[in-house]
Amino acid sequence: MANTIRTKEIGLHIISLLDAAGLSLVTAQLGMLEDYLGVEDITAILPAVLVAPIITDSEFRTIAEFRVIDTFRIIYAQEFATGQERVPIMLDKARIIVDAISATKNFPGLLPPVLPQVEVQFVSRIEWEPEENRFAGIAGTQIKAIAITETVRMVT
């Protein structure tokens, strides 16, 4: 039954969806923004999408009856020029991210073929002022981030 836990694969699938979503990304990978604190010029990796798993919750009754819930923290960060309107741009970026993920009806190839049809459900929570915005002050830049907590439920 361990074959049904595909947290890394789902995270990588989310990254591929976002990389193809028209966000003009320089960086798209599994990780967190704090991984880049030591980078001399953090703006060189922007715009960026970083995806990190938070929690995996699984409940198995039988091989054909299970529930797996993976929760990811998705950070989108970009640099802005002084005076540039950030809010409308970040609203658009959040919409693109949520739409790209929720348009996925399944995760082809991520579940073993012996499993029955799996229903995939998504719940998105957007933080407009996440803790990652503190890195802008540390780096002395005009970086703005949004955080999307994306819960992916796979249920038979």
**Domain extent at residue 83:** 2-155
Interatomic CA distance for residues 134 and 89, integer angstroms: 19
pTM of the model: 0.86
119 — pLDDT class (breaks 50, 70, 90): confident
CATH classification at residue 72 = 3.30.2000.30
pLDDT tier for residue 140 given thresholds of 50, 70 and 90: low
Whether the predicted pLDDT of 1 surpasses 50: no
Interval 44-102: pLDDT, tens? 999 999 999 998 887 777 766 777 889 999 999 999 888 889 999 999 999 999 999 98
| Contact indicator for 101, 17 with CB cutoff of 8 Å | yes
Number of domains in the chain: 1
Residue type, 121: Q
